[in-house]
């Protein structure tokens, strides 16, 4: 046993009388919150009747019922089993290397339309999803409904049953950055030589036929208007909309002339307020089988990349999932620009504030358009705009996540932050920045970001 010696204590000055009587430091005054926010109450749907998909009689409703009563997170057994259930009921022509399910009902060379939807949802894991019937709407109990994109799946099944001659693809992993559609564009590009239009049924709300997504034009105005006219024959109307964010057909814009996304009547997707308008979907299903899809005009040249405007363009160069999806397509910009390569364009945007460097695509922008006018913005708007810019330009989401968490739950922002998904938020930042710039209140933009990225 070793004897240990106690080290000699260092000499410590005894407190002076002055120190001894010094009052303890006052507790810091809590900072006055810059804003207060009361989150809306969670929807209580527990009193509503539960949906049993077996009670649904039509293919449209049975498929939607089956889809919505399952949490189909990509990569889970639940999603895989749902895809197997689907494949067993469809005249499948191919299951490709990414697991996408293809159905080819074309019979002549004149059939040049592709319809798409996606099988996965934003749920965190698989399992059952309780769906409640709220009159004309379906909602899920405490989770996303999954009508994004159960509605699209149901619509495609309905059109296949009706024998609409076209090429159908049920994509996998759309919510994880277009895994299935990216695979198809890269591994089976020859398929697209026989396709003039790719129509996704994966747009929220009513009315929209998307002309721009992922920061660029995806279909011509002529095509969009003709499709709106064709769908607007009943009690609903449709309008071309340039505010698309991202869905699978964005992957095909350099392969297929007319790519779009059509509203299917779900709202508040990606959160537990999601709802599906059942009657709207039924009306749309009836219209979709009546449209002469192959008679729609084909005007856009897929080899010419048309950037929409600077605001969406920054999303494209931002490093978010969807923006870096297919860098090759951005290199195909029409050549008038001094920047031949999309990387150069991105770098130019990041390091130069001078908008004169931007290739002019027909819109005239001056410096004022390029910067949010700080004088007009309140403090929260400035903070949010900075946070969005950091997310968009630098792929740095930490400030934005903090801001959304603080907004959603001022008492416990740390806990709230764990409930937010950066991946989901990355899909929303370009649109959020657009909204903020276009006068949507900062608190509403924060609401959208919260509901869209909550897990």
Residues binding Zn ion (CB under 5 A): 148-149, 202
C-alpha to C-alpha distance for 7 and 284, rounded to whole angstroms: 85
Provide the minimum distance between the beta carbon of 120 and Zn ion in the complex, in angstroms, as a whole number. Answer: 9
Nearer to Zn ion by Cβ, of 75 and 165: the residue is 75
Long-range CB pairs of 159-162 (<8 Å, 24+ gap) are 159/115, 159/285, 159/288, 159/289, 160/90, 160/91, 160/103, 160/105, 161/59, 162/289
Nearer to Zn ion by Cβ, of 149 and 274: the residue is 149
Distance of CA 420 to the CA centre of its chain: 15
C-alpha to C-alpha distance for 374 and 381, rounded to whole angstroms: 9
Give the residue ranges of DSSP H helices in 106-201: 147-161, 179-187
Provide the minimum distance between the beta carbon of 118 and Zn ion in the complex, in angstroms, as a whole number. Answer: 6
* DSSP assignment letter at 178: S
Provide the minimum distance between the beta carbon of 90 and Zn ion in the complex, in angstroms, as a whole number. Answer: 20
Nearer to Zn ion by Cβ, of 255 and 264: the residue is 264
What angle (nearest 5°) sits at the alpha carbon of residue 191, between those of residues 189 and 197?
100
Provide the minimum distance between the beta carbon of 56 and Zn ion in the complex, in angstroms, as a whole number. Answer: 21
Nearer to Zn ion by Cβ, of 213 and 361: the residue is 213
Q: Which helix (H) or strand (E) holds 448?
A: helix 442-453
Cis peptide before 149 (omega within 30 of 0): yes
* DSSP assignment letter at 70: B
Nearer to Zn ion by Cβ, of 184 and 436: the residue is 184
Provide the minimum distance between the beta carbon of 62 and Zn ion in the complex, in angstroms, as a whole number. Answer: 20
Provide the minimum distance between the beta carbon of 174 and Zn ion in the complex, in angstroms, as a whole number. Answer: 6
Secondary structure class of 137 (helix, strand, coil)? strand
Q: Which residues contact 225 (CB under 8 A, 6 or more apart)?
A: 240
Nearer to Zn ion by Cβ, of 148 and 258: the residue is 148
Nearer to Zn ion by Cβ, of 384 and 425: the residue is 425
Provide the minimum distance between the beta carbon of 122 and Zn ion in the complex, in angstroms, as a whole number. Answer: 8
Percent of residues in the chain assigned helix, strand, coil, to nearest 5: 40, 15, 45
């Amino acid at each position: 046993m070793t004897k240990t010696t106690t080290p000699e204590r260092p000499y410590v000055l005894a407190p002076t009388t002055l120190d001894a009587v010094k009052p303890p430091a006052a507790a810091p005054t809590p900072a006055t919150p810059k804003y207060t926010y009361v989150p809306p109450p969670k929807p209580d749907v527990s009193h509503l009747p539960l949906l049993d998909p077996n009670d649904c009689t039509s293919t449209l409703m049975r498929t939607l019922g089956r889809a919505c009563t399952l949490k189909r997170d990509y990569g889970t057994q639940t999603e895989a089993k749902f895809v197997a259930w689907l494949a067993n009921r469809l005249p499948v022509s191919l299951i490709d290397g990414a697991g996408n399910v293809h159905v080819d009902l074309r019979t002549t060379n004149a059939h040049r339309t592709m319809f798409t939807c996606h099988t996965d949802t934003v749920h965190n894991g698989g399992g059952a999803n309780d769906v409640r019937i709220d009159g004309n709407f379906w909602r899920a109990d405490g989770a996303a409904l999954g009508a994004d994109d159960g509605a699209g799946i149901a619509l495609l099944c309905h059109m296949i049953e009706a024998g609409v001659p076209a090429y159908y693809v049920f994509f996998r992993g759309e919510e994880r950055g277009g895994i299935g559609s990216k695979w198809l564009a890269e591994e089976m590009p020859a398929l697209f030589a026989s396709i003039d239009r790719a129509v996704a049924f994966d747009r929220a709300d009513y009315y929209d036929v998307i002309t721009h997504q992922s920061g660029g034009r995806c279909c011509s105005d002529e095509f969009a208007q003709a499709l709106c006219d064709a769908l607007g024959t009943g009690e609903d109307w449709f309008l071309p909309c340039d505010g698309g964010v991202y869905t699978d057909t964005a992957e095909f814009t350099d392969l297929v002339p007319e790519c779009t996304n059509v509203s299917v009547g779900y709202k508040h997707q990606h959160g537990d307020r999601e709802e599906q308008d059942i009657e709207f979907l039924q009306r749309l299903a009836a219209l979709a089988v009546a449209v002469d899809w192959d008679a729609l005009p084909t005007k856009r040249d897929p080899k010419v990349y048309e950037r929409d405007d600077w605001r969406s363009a920054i999303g494209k160069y931002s490093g978010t999932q969807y923006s870096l999806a297919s860098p090759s397509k951005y290199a195909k910009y029409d050549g008038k620009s001094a920047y031949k390569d999309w990387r150069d364009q991105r770098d130019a945007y990041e390091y130069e504030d001078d908008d004169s460097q931007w290739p002019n695509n027909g819109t005239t922008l001056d410096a004022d358009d390029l910067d949010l006018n700080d004088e007009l913005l309140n403090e929260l708007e400035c903070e949010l705009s900075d946070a969005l810019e950091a997310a968009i330009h630098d792929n740095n989401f930490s400030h934005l996540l903090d801001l959304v968490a603080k907004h959603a739950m001022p008492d416990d922002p740390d806990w709230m932050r764990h409930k937010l998904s950066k991946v989901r938020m990355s899909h929303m930042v370009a649109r959020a920045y657009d909204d903020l710039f276009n006068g949507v209140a900062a608190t509403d933009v924060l609401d959208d970001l919260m509901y869209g990225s909550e897990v």
